[in-house]
A and B are shown apart, each in its own frame.
Chain A
């Protein structure tokens, strides 16, 4: 019984990480139809931003304030990644709206450049960070010990999700975003600046990737190539969830997370990975446009 509970928690925890890396993609891919292969590199930028914050704190701040670095790193990672995202949108992506497959190739190239840039700035080996002390140790939940880090990640994902949902559904600029994504011409006709919406939306998607990067430093490596570990998983989550629907991404992230953990528990990690991908392929045969999708009567 306890084993099942622990595995359920592990699944939830993996799901939250998947959701975090897929959320930014759900916006850029789901809402804007841009396949951003450089998403992984935006995650990397977030991770390195955290590393830089730590370095600044160890060098210039009193030791007592050290734990604060991580709290500050999260918004910083958002801002840095969002700025890079804006630059990317302005130089590359804006030429490619309506050409999703071309955007895939171009952003893959951007990803290569960003990776190599990171390698020349920070060196090829991984860099390390020290987790803030308030995230150390375990907590007792329903009689099992779970790492505080994992709880923190789940909490942060929920917060990100709430902020994003609030932005998209309750604020004016969020409504404009959805309007543009649903019908660009019509939105443009009623006076919405589609250019501005595009660039903001892309920046937000990139920023969330940055936050994901900051969080991932707690549980994984920080190096030039870390984006490549996450990018395919992130795409799978978005595609399974259904393009253009945040709720789909949420359901699919936790679904994939729990399934993956279970498969891994029943078999081993390699087979677990194979099974989950096979399952995704089969699932798409059954529902080609994912769990949830916008209904539309248009064909082409």
Chain B
């Protein structure tokens, strides 16, 4: 049994290595614009690792990760906006009749504080939310729908408090980051590699986590929470912890995203984007860390490709992918090989594909 696990790990490692080398080399062959796009996808890839921990391994589906992603992005956005306006009031505050900067804007002026806040603030919110929600045994579907309510609250607040958030326009018009020009391709390349670095580090940390006893506990929660609880584990604290970790990861992803896109607005963190994030996990393969990473990069590349060339078809395609993946390929792309193989070999008695994914 042990060697199975080892083999399994080795294959993942090779795959990861191939992916990383590819991603390191791609900027040398792609145009600046494509590299920038790829960098955004990598930010999404970071986000989905957290989501995968939560959903793929622990079976808790959050449709509210847009909130944490958005928090990270807004915090970094505020910092960048402060840099751009060099301490003055941004234009939207002037129209709204503000005369001085709100306190959290001033605090975020310092780059180190901004970076830390972008990760820690989402985590704090996740701890508070998670603590009460999981303690009160709000489970499965109820949790999922509750997170949707939270997204509604966040988006409505962001839009209606436009004097401090920029409203529907969001935050945009950044010029420099830590003193370097954002429009300079060299800066963008550095950000790209920073993003890639973050992705690899987070991937490694999370795979460490998954292969520890802690990881086993997560899978046990997914497959039979009550049994674990009866064995004396405090499952709700596990849930709070993983929820918090994934919120922190989402915050980091949000920060990296805003650096490369140069804009963050409420539509990016609403209900539909939050569901789309889940799709990336599902397409890549939930419960495999590398799968969702590939899923995020692949789906977003496809989105760009299709909507550049065939804007109409994109929505049909996206919708169809949702349906097909969920029904026919619950293990995502990572299970594609297995699926094909099974079809080829006429082995009997292998009908139960649900076994792996009884999570949901």
Interface set of A (CB-CB < 8 Å, partner B): 33, 35, 37, 92, 95-96, 99-106, 108-113, 115-116, 120, 228, 232, 235-236, 239, 270-271, 273-274, 277-278, 280-281, 284-286, 288-289, 299-300
Contact = CB atoms under 8 A, between A and B. Distances in A.
Interface stretch (B66-74, B148-156, B198-206, B338-346): B148-156
B323 A109 contact: yes
Given A104-B141, A285-B132, 12 more contacts: A101-B140, A101-B144, A106-B322, A109-B320, A109-B323, A110-B323, A239-B145, A273-B152, A281-B149, A281-B153, A284-B146, A300-B224
21 contacts: A35-B141, A95-B327, A99-B360, A101-B144, A103-B326, A104-B141, A108-B322, A109-B323, A113-B320, A116-B319, A232-B148, A232-B149, A239-B142, A270-B157, A274-B160, A281-B150, A285-B132, A285-B138, A288-B142, A289-B142, A300-B224
B243 to A, nearest CB: 15
Interface in B115-163: 132-133, 136-142, 144-146, 148-150, 152-153, 156-157, 159-160
B47 interface: no
Contacts of B142: 239, 284, 288-289
B156 A270 contact: yes
Given A106-B326, A285-B133, A300-B226, A112 B139 contact: no
Contacts of B315: 112-113, 115-116
- In the A-B complex, list the 8 residue pairs whose CB atoms are closest, starting with the nearest: A109-B322, A112-B319, A113-B319, A270-B160, A101-B360, A106-B326, A116-B315, A109-B319
The interface residues of chain A, by DSSP majority, are classed as helix
Contacts of A273: 152, 156
A92 B323 contact: yes
B109 to A, nearest CB: 28
A289 B136 CA distance: 10
Nearest to B61: A101
B279 interface: yes
B321 A109 contact: yes
Contact of B148 (A33, A100, A235): A235
Nearest to A271: B160
A298 B315 CA distance: 41
Given A270-B156, A284-B146, A106 B327 contact: yes
Given A116-B312, A235-B148, A277 B153 contact: yes
